[in-house]
A and B are shown apart, each in its own frame.
Chain A
Amino acid sequence: MKELNGNGLIRNDEVFLRMNLAERVQHILLIVSFSVLVVTGLPLMFYELRILKSIFSFEKAFYYRGVLHRVAAIVLIVDMVWHSGYTILTRRGRDNFREMVPRLKDALDAVSLFGYNVGLSRWLYRKGILRAFFERYPFWKFENPPEYGRYNFVEKLEYLSVAWGSFIMILSGFFMWNVGLSLKMFPLWVHDIFVIVHGYEAMLAFLAIIIWHMYNVHLNPEVFPMSKIWINGKITGHELKTLHSLEYRKILAERQKAHGAGGAGTGLNPAQAP
């Protein structure tokens, strides 16, 4: 793979803003509310576990569990409303969302990354097996890892899962909170589905976060022990080059254009930190 070069226009230690303060606060609110919701909610899925009985040992424990769960739910709802408003009403929010829209490239990226990591195609190619096929369709050779834009397919999947999951959880949770209202509108068997959906969607979200998100932002050797973007919002030129090379190229192209046009410097990029 050809090494990207900033040509002096992007230094490796230059700092770019990846998450602004509003986005970081939204993310922290999500962490807090999600964690509380999981801790106070999931026990209901595992009612047979003895250990849970010892957690809810003191009197009224179960009552406070419910109160906490609802408070956290309200925090999550507020967070979601804030984020939706932010996404619609601010320029940065709209730009981010445009980058977030899933495209065919994301599916190909996923296949490509997996194929690249496994390396089977490259091995076959070197051995001369299916050479004609690989010559004709070089994509399936998985010679290089995919290049990502501002958001890669992993991040898009996580973001859209949170959006969809929150919608499902808030909707079903609302009707579980207001059983009377729910059963005024729906027959009991529909309400039963709300309960099932709430539980299983929670399981899905919990497993996705604990396995997928935790690996990608914590345990992945590239960022271990933790990517600090969620705290300081910053990403360096070097990280941008290796992790989001398409965005890097875009910024580079803009700067080259500006440089060529008037040599006004590097301050034109809206994504750059002050």
Chain B
Amino acid sequence: MKLRGPILRLVLPAALAVLWAAAPALAGRSDDDCLTCHGDTGLKTELGRSLFVDRAGFAASIHGSTGIACVDCHTDLKKFTDFPHSAKLEPVDCASCHDAAAAAIHESIHGRPHAGAAPITVRCKDCHGTHDIRPAKDAQSHTSPMNIPDTCLSCHLERVRTTLGPGYAGRYKQSVHFRALSKAGLSFSATCLSCHGGHSVQPMGDPQSKVSRRNIIPTCGTCHAGIERDYLEGVHGKDYVKGSQDVPVCTDCHNEHDIQSPEDLDSGVYATKVAAVCARCHDDESLARQYGLLTSRLKTFSASYHGTASKFGEIKVANCSSCHGHHGIRPSSDPLSSINAANLAATCGTCHPGAGKNFSKGRIHVVSEKTENRWAYTVKIIYIVIIGGLISVFLAFIAADLYRRMRIR
């Protein structure tokens, strides 16, 4: 393809110039001849489908501007001698020139018959358009980054029902990626194509898919290279590389289509929601047993001031990631970990200026105070006994007082 483009642009006009010179002899198959009829906006089939071809639009298209004529794509027109031709034309076969793209499509989900009662066949023109095809780098192209979301959503918003349900793809429009594209006009922001691929698009469950569990890290890492590096150095990334199916990948925490900036209230990793995200795995009994993790992480965090304040919407207090980090989380035994005893003063110091050694003399969100902080546990038990005892005595006195008054009356 890449080689062919320039060649086409040189060779075809030359060839066409020759053809055009010989046109009268070829009995009226020039574009002008076609547009004599098809330039009429009112031209329709018996079923009412428009047969109008916009001359200016075609002339501005990649094909029109390089001099490719109507009959070069609608090759069966060459068979006709009488015009206007009446019979329905054969579908255009793009593969006659674009064979590499056609082969890629053939291997993709778009090229395979789908399961279901009414399998949808995706054709080139469904994405690229027909007479108005422009190269992707042209802002007016159906496949330019700015227009790709609408192009894909023309089917994926309603017609296509994937396992994730209708409208799932449409959530992309709520994402930070789409906002960057539409509001900030950043054409390099992620579109459908960036994550799913173009011609070679595969469903998520397919290991070959760019968004499969195996490939999602490098796919996101294409743009977020620094985060990919941090992730792979962290405890999650190290197990991911080993093939663990249980460690979270990007989309497990950040969501997929409706991915938001962490500063956005709707984000799953907004400061007050981080704990719930982490707790999905870190409060899971079976995962804890399998990997030897501590449980009750959310419960013990919620009981702390950080957790309680966070629950009530305070964003300044520490959440999981404030202390543990996020992409490159390391276990406390790792000297580079933010919660390694040697680094706690610095980690806590980000919020508590001048935090010293004392910050590491004690345990944070412990499962059992009985074993982790004996004094605190003792104090708690004493209080529970005192409260229970005193309140019982109070109630007994009140009951006795009321009893006497009832008896006297």
| Residues of chain A at the chain B interface (Cβ within 8 Å) | 43-44, 47-48, 52-53, 56, 59, 61-63, 65, 110, 113-114, 116-119, 176, 179-180, 183-193, 195-197, 200-201, 203-204, 207-208, 211-212, 215, 220-221
Q: How many A-B residue pairs have CB under 8 A?
A: 120
Query: Is the pair B398, A204 in contact by a Cβ cutoff of 8 Å?
Result: no
User: In angstroms, how far is the closest chain A Cβ from the Cβ of B23?
Assistant: 73
Answer whether A47 and B403 are a contact pair too, CB < 8 Å, given A52-B312, A183-B355, A189-B376: no
User: In angstroms, how far is the closest chain B Cβ from the Cβ of A153?
Assistant: 10
Answer whether A118 and B314 are a contact pair too, CB < 8 Å, given A184-B356, A200-B380: no
Query: Is the pair A196, B379 in contact by a Cβ cutoff of 8 Å?
Result: yes
Query: Is the pair B359, A204 in contact by a Cβ cutoff of 8 Å?
Result: no
Contact residues, B386-409 vs A (CB, 8 A): 386-387, 390-391, 394-398, 400-401, 403-405, 407
Query: Is the pair A47, B308 in contact by a Cβ cutoff of 8 Å?
Result: yes
Smallest Cβ-Cβ distance to B354: which chain A residue: A180
| B342 within 8 Å of A (CB atoms) | no
Contact pick for B394, options A62, A189, A211, CB 8 Å: A211
Q: How far is the CA of A9 from the CA of B137 in the complex (A)?
A: 109
A-B contact pairs, 17 of them (CB 8 A): A52-B312, A62-B312, A65-B312, A113-B400, A114-B396, A176-B305, A188-B362, A188-B364, A190-B375, A191-B362, A192-B362, A196-B376, A200-B380, A200-B383, A201-B383, A204-B386, A211-B391
Chain A residues, Cβ within 8 Å of B394: 208, 211-212, 215
| Residues of chain B at the chain A interface (Cβ within 8 Å) | 302-303, 305, 307-309, 311-314, 352-356, 358-364, 373, 375-376, 379-380, 383-384, 386-387, 390-391, 394-398, 400-401, 403-405, 407
Chain A residues, Cβ within 8 Å of B397: 110, 113-114, 117
Smallest Cβ-Cβ distance to B349: which chain A residue: A180
Chain B residues, Cβ within 8 Å of A62: 309, 312-314
User: In angstroms, how far is the closest chain A Cβ from the Cβ of B241?
Assistant: 35
Answer whether A61 and B379 are a contact pair too, CB < 8 Å, given A184-B356, A187-B362: no
5 smallest beta-carbon distances between A and B, as pairs: A188-B362, A187-B361, A189-B362, A200-B383, A117-B400
Interface of A is mostly: helix
Query: Is the pair B313, A183 in contact by a Cβ cutoff of 8 Å?
Result: no
Query: Is the pair B353, A204 in contact by a Cβ cutoff of 8 Å?
Result: no
Query: Is the pair A118, B400 in contact by a Cβ cutoff of 8 Å?
Result: yes
Q: How far is the CA of A130 from the CA of B305 in the complex (A)?
A: 58
Chain A residues, Cβ within 8 Å of B384: 200
Query: Is the pair A204, B303 in contact by a Cβ cutoff of 8 Å?
Result: no
Answer whether A204 and B383 are a contact pair too, CB < 8 Å, given A48-B302, A193-B375, A211-B398: yes
Query: Is the pair A188, B376 in contact by a Cβ cutoff of 8 Å?
Result: no
Smallest Cβ-Cβ distance to A201: which chain B residue: B383
Query: Is the pair A207, B391 in contact by a Cβ cutoff of 8 Å?
Result: yes
Answer whether A220 and B360 are a contact pair too, CB < 8 Å, given A56-B312, A196-B379, A204-B386: no
Chain A residues, Cβ within 8 Å of B400: 113-114, 117-118
Query: Is the pair A61, B353 in contact by a Cβ cutoff of 8 Å?
Result: no
Contact pick for B373, options A183, A192, A220, CB 8 Å: A192
Q: How far is the CA of A44 from the CA of B401 in the complex (A)?
A: 35
Answer whether A193 and B379 are a contact pair too, CB < 8 Å, given A117-B403, A208-B390: yes
Query: Is the pair B356, A118 in contact by a Cβ cutoff of 8 Å?
Result: no
User: In angstroms, how far is the closest chain B Cβ from the Cβ of A124?
Assistant: 16
Answer whether A44 and B352 are a contact pair too, CB < 8 Å, given A117-B404, A208-B394: no
Answer whether A188 and B361 are a contact pair too, CB < 8 Å, given A62-B313, A180-B354, A204-B383: yes
Q: How far is the CA of A7 from the CA of B270 in the complex (A)?
A: 78
Answer whether A119 and B363 are a contact pair too, CB < 8 Å, given A53-B311, A211-B395: no
Q: How far is the CA of A193 from the CA of B382 in the complex (A)?
A: 12
Query: Is the pair B379, A197 in contact by a Cβ cutoff of 8 Å?
Result: yes
Chain A residues, Cβ within 8 Å of B353: 180
Contact pick for B302, options A47, A63, A215, CB 8 Å: A47
User: In angstroms, how far is the closest chain B Cβ from the Cβ of A209?
Assistant: 11
Q: How far is the CA of A188 from the CA of B373 in the complex (A)?
A: 10
Contact pick for A184, options B358, B380, B387, B390, CB 8 Å: B358
Query: Is the pair B359, A183 in contact by a Cβ cutoff of 8 Å?
Result: yes
18 more A-B residue pairs beyond the given contacts A204-B390, A211-B395, with a C-beta to C-beta distance below 8 A? A43-B312, A62-B314, A110-B397, A183-B359, A184-B358, A187-B362, A188-B360, A189-B362, A189-B376, A192-B373, A192-B376, A196-B379, A200-B379, A201-B383, A203-B383, A207-B391, A208-B390, A211-B398
Answer whether A188 and B312 are a contact pair too, CB < 8 Å, given A114-B396, A117-B401, A215-B398: no
User: In angstroms, how far is the closest chain B Cβ from the Cβ of A63?
Assistant: 7
Chain B residues, Cβ within 8 Å of A113: 397, 400
Query: Is the pair A203, B387 in contact by a Cβ cutoff of 8 Å?
Result: yes
Chain B residues, Cβ within 8 Å of A116: 404
User: In angstroms, how far is the closest chain B Cβ from the Cβ of A1?
Assistant: 13
Q: How far is the CA of A195 from the CA of B376 in the complex (A)?
A: 9
Chain B residues, Cβ within 8 Å of A188: 358-364
User: In angstroms, how far is the closest chain A Cβ from the Cβ of B401?
Assistant: 6
Query: Is the pair A196, B380 in contact by a Cβ cutoff of 8 Å?
Result: yes
Chain A residues, Cβ within 8 Å of B364: 188
Answer whether A187 and B358 are a contact pair too, CB < 8 Å, given A114-B396, A180-B353, A207-B387: yes
